[in-house]
Structures are given as structure tokens and as C-alpha cells.
Amino acid sequence: MSVIPRILLGIAVMAVGTLMTFKSETMLEWFGENAWAEDKLGFGQSRLFYKILGTLVAFLGIFIMTNIISDILGGVASVFVRN
């Protein structure tokens, strides 16, 4: 992927992750409580789950923007492919 589309895609993904982090109450209203988060993290922790997920998505956007994602995916793929 060329530089400009990669940077724009990274910014878009990072913006979505940031919105997920700051608007966790809206995410909770749209998607409801997460059963796994409620069970493992405790009662009322779905907001925390959405904030953690949003932070991970924002970091994914940074990885896409800086092209680190290709190194990460290459490393994961090398585990499954023989040299």
C-alpha cells in the first residue's frame, strides 16, 4: 500500500478507536453489556472492556499508519510458513 492511503487508513482506524474509548457509554447503549467482561472483570465492567478495546483499535491504527503492522503480520505468518 502506498504512503498516503496507508496514513489516511491509519488515521481513520485511530479515530474510531479514540471514539470507542471516549464514548464507551454510547458503545454500551448500542451493543449492550458484554457477558465475558461482566463475568471475568466484574459487574458493570463492560465500559472498561469497550475502553480497552478502543485503545487497542487506536494502537492498531498507529501500527497501520507507521507500517509496523506489516512486520507484525509477517512475524505471525512466519510461524505458519516454512522457510
Asked whether the beta carbons of 27 and 57 are under 8 A apart, the reply is no
Nine-digit cell at 21? Answer: 474509548
- Please name the residues in contact with 9: beta carbons below 8 A apart, sequence gap of 6 or more: 1, 64, 65
Range of the structural domain that residue 38 is part of: 3-80
> What's residue 2's pLDDT?
87
Residue closest to 7 by CA, chosen among 69, 66, 79 = 66
The pLDDT tens digits for 40-73 are 888 888 899 999 999 999 999 999 999 998 888 8
> What's residue 40's pLDDT?
86
User: Could you give the dihedral angle defined by the CA atoms of residues 45, 51, 53 and 57, in that order, rounded to the nearest 10 degrees?
Assistant: 180
Q: Please, which pLDDT band fits residue 38 given cuts at 50, 70 and 90?
A: confident
The answer to whether the predicted template modeling score (pTM) of the entire model surpasses 0.75 is yes
> What is the separation of C-alpha 5 from the centre of its chain, rounded to a whole number of angstroms?
19
